[in-house]
Amino acid sequence: MSAPQSDAVSIEILPVDEENDLGSIALVTINRPDKLNALNADVMSGLKAMVAWVEATDSVRVVVMTGAQPNAPPEGKRAKPNAFVAGADITEFVGKKSDDIRVMFADNAVEALWNLSKPTLAMVDGFALGGGCEVACSCDVRIASDRSRFGTPEINLGLIPGYGATQRLARLIGYGKTMEMIMTGEMISANEAHRIGLVNHVCPPEDLRAFTLKMAQTIGSKSSNTLRVGKATIRAALDAGLTEGVAIEAEAFARLFDSRDKEVGVNAFLNRTTPDWEHK
Ligand code: COA
């Protein structure tokens, strides 16, 4: 099955390893640079198709989410700024009432991305606002260029975040910082986002792609089964209490001792060879 391409969401397939067949990285680009990659219905359906395809395609080991770079401006016009995603498409909010929004936001693509069992990285270069900050928060790791800016400006529209920031952002940066961002609607710099734990790494724009893909390659070279178990187990810390979470971990850890890849990994260490993971 080939990757689902659309005008709004494109998928580039890159190797995890240039020399050995270790599967691929799906580099997913939200492609509306003239609208700062705002999440409209086309983007959301493209993202859902992408998530379903990645989940069903064993060869894809890791997903990297990014936003398209600005197009060259027409003669005499100013260039649009760099953006990861500048939020939900506000034009689609016009005239909408609660019944419409319940349908639009039910079972949405940001939630689907969060529920993907494979590792996900957000590669952020520019504005990550509202739904853009939330797409980033739905990934496992966030890497940003130093010119990026994060924010939850929905308060300025008379709204609160609707794609999970009240929950996932709060888990990342804590109650006080989340309240400050959501109540003021003000943006923070990439360095501040790094300082408060919203972003894992900050680098110059020219290094962002290489840095992010190197991490994706490192993660993609590990056992897919073990990564999946690890992600599901760490998620338990978000949904369960500490005691229940430790019990979930104990069971997941024990079950991995019946897996092929535990034998492969331990033997490779003892024999000083490279582990040949199963990858499925
Ligand atoms: N929804 C729809 N369109 C958006 C958008 C969004 N969330 N964010 C930006 N755009 C569009 C603008 O309308 C503009 O379109 P146009 O050139 O056809 O008029 C284009 O993207 C460029 O944005 P512009 O506002 O001209 O760029 P700027 O450099 O002056 O400002 C921002 C950049 C990010 C500060 C500003 O675009 C902004 O505040 N966007 C909305 C952010 C937001 O509230 N997000 C949460 C939504 S729930």
Which domains, ranges and CATH numbers included, belong to the chain?
Answer: 9-220 (3.90.226.10), 224-271 (1.10.12)
Separation in Å, CA 106 to CA 2, 37, 81, 96, 102: 27, 21, 31, 15, 6
The pick from 31, 36, 149, 188 for probing ligand 1's pocket by mutation, whose C-beta has the most ligand atoms within 8 angstroms, reads: 36
Give the pLDDT of residue 1: 73
Please give the structure tokens belonging to residue 196. 């408060």
Span from the CA of 37 to the centroid of ligand 1 (angstroms): 9
Low-confidence ranges of the chain (pLDDT < 50): none
Catalytic residue among 12, 19, 111, 154: 154
Q: What is the pLDDT of residue 280?
A: 73
Which pLDDT score, from 0 to 100, does residue 237 have? Answer: 87
What's 79's DSSP letter?
A: P
3-state secondary structure of 257: coil
Is 134 known to be catalytic? yes
Residue 47 confidence (pLDDT)? 98
Q: Residue 67 in contact with residue 30, Cβ under 8 Å?
A: yes
Nearest CA to ligand 1 atom 15: 35
Answer yes or no: are the C-beta atoms of 126 and 67 closer than 8 Å.
yes
Tell me the CA–centroid distance for residue 60 and ligand 1, in Å: 33
**pLDDT tens per residue across span 204-242:** 999 999 999 999 999 999 999 999 999 999 998 898 888
Phi then psi dihedrals of residue 182, to 5 deg: -75, -35
The residue assigned the tokens 């989410």 is 65
Shortest-distance Cα residue to atom 47 of ligand 1? 87
- Judged by DSSP in three states, 235 sits in helix
Structure tokens at 86: 């500048």
Are the C-beta atoms of residues 249 and 236 closer than 8 Å to each other?
yes
Q: What is the pTM of this model?
A: 0.96
Pocket test for ligand 1, best of 30, 32, 35 (most atoms within 8 A of CB): 35
Q: How confident is the model at residue 255, as a pLDDT?
A: 92
- Nearest atom (ligand 1) to Cα of 130: 46
Residue 127 C-alpha to ligand 1 middle, in angstroms? 10
The residues, ordered by sequence, that sit 6+ positions from 64 with a Cβ below 8 Å of its Cβ are 25, 26, 27, 28, 120, 121, 122, 123, 212, 213, 216
CB of 154 sitting under 6 A from ligand 1: yes
CA distances from 65 to 98, 172, 241, 266 (A): 30, 18, 30, 33
Q: Which DSSP string corresponds to 1-62?
A: ------SSEEEEEEES-SSS---EEEEEEE--GGGTT-B-HHHHHHHHHHHHHHHH-TTEEE
Whole-number Å distance between alpha carbons of 203 and 271: 38
Beta carbon of 129 within 6 Å of any ligand 1 atom: yes
Considering 12, 55, 111, 134, which one is annotated as catalytic?
A: 134
Which of 12, 3, 6, 5 lies closest to 66 in space, CA to CA?
Answer: 12
CB 161 within 8 A of CB 130: yes
